[in-house]
Structure 1
Amino acid sequence: MITLTAPLADSSIMLRRNFKHIARSPVTIFNAALMPVVMMLIFVYVFGSAFDVGGDYIDYATPGLILLAISYGLSGTAVSVSGDMAKGIINRFKVMDVSRGAVLTGHVVATILTNAVAIAAVLAVAFALGFRSPATALEWLGAIGVMAATSVAASWLTVALGMAAKTPESAGMSVVPLIMLPFVSSAIVPAEKMGQGVRQFAQYQPFTPIIESLRGFLTGHPSGGYTAAALAWCAGIGIIGFLWSRATFSKRA
């Protein structure tokens, strides 16, 4: 029983520690929860009328902005993980016989919960702006599953990037591609409306099937093909992030 409960207790301690750090960093809170809302207001009110998406732009954009909400909270995680490595805090935890898995899991769970708050904020604003979803309860569960899988995968990859970075500053820069990729996907405009080259990249990068899967669930027309591709991408990214972070932890700590 002790073998099972000790890692859980260590993980809960690491989770509380990470939340205290987040609460003390206004920039992290802004990037994770407020920035996605600001982006939604900009795209819907400033640019929305310029995009022809065959319907209400808020209905089209909400799934993509949910993914942006996940992406914007990742830089704080990478910087926090890198800071722990650079300051030698991980080695102190080793001396204290803290479970290795708990250190990584604490960062991952904190990121997932932060993402959940950001997604809730985006959805609340979307409904206030006129977003309406005909999705059934089962389709909403499917959308939540895709969001959860994406958040878990992105969190593990971000932890791995943070551990591999030499400095907190470089860790923050390492997640910039994860923040920018949604902009070169079907998040803001349909991929088929993009120029040659960019269109092909948008169609085959991992975030597009995730967004299209979410869009299908939220509009009441789920796509098995997009959902299978989205879950496959999430599984691959998550496994790579998990194995990479564990290997880097063992090497550097």
Structure 2
Amino acid sequence: MVLSACNLCIMPLRAEASHRSEMVTQVLFGEPFEILEEGIDFDHIRLLDTSYEGWIQRHQSGQIATQESSRRIIGLTGGKASSTAHTTQLLHGTPVPNDSIQIGNELYTIEGVIREGKLDDFDIEFPKLIQHYNNSPYLWGGRSPYGIDCSGFSQVVYRHFGIGLKRDAWQQAESGDTVDFLPEIKAGDLAFFDNEAGRITHVGIMIDNETIIHAAGRVRIDKMDTEGIFNAQQNKYTHKLRIVKRYF
């Protein structure tokens, strides 16, 4: 398999080969993918870690050598990748299997605080993640503090601890162990919410057994009970609880 990777800080992955098309997710620097179809202005790709497919603009990536799986990522303070021609800022969660990466003809050296994804410091790191992402604007398909959606938020938080999640909320709900009762909820559990048709459309991360952080308009902290998420500002329930899952 020939792999390529994004050579920019972040780039959109679109549903169709058009700048006007919906952004379904974003690709971070160095994230590997397979090109399924080459076009004139856009390429159809499949992300290696989640098998997510979509279209990227050409010339925003380059070929890379086959990469081994790694839990090393850029930490919350960010970093940069520098070649002789370019310097690219790196966002939290950007994968960094090695201290350098060759993308196309350019060899990038990685600088910044590198985190090895692990769970033994969850109690210390989780509050830092809450502070870092709280009040970030909502962006459909977003994966950064400058714009993020609900499942992108749960994905990047879990990546911080070395746990890979699928991209969409309904996909994330297919794994994990069910938490049967709300008093049993622990920090880090994921709560999923469905629409009137019964389809899971939203996810948030539990801070404790009655408080949730999630992306809805912005990344926000709200109360949750058996009925769902209660927005005190709107004085109403905004999301109907479907299930709570545990992954560690």
- TM-score when normalising by structure 2: 0.26
Using CA pairs under 8 Å that are at least 6 residues apart, name the structure with larger relative contact order, 1 or 2: 1
More strand by share: 2
More helix by share: 1
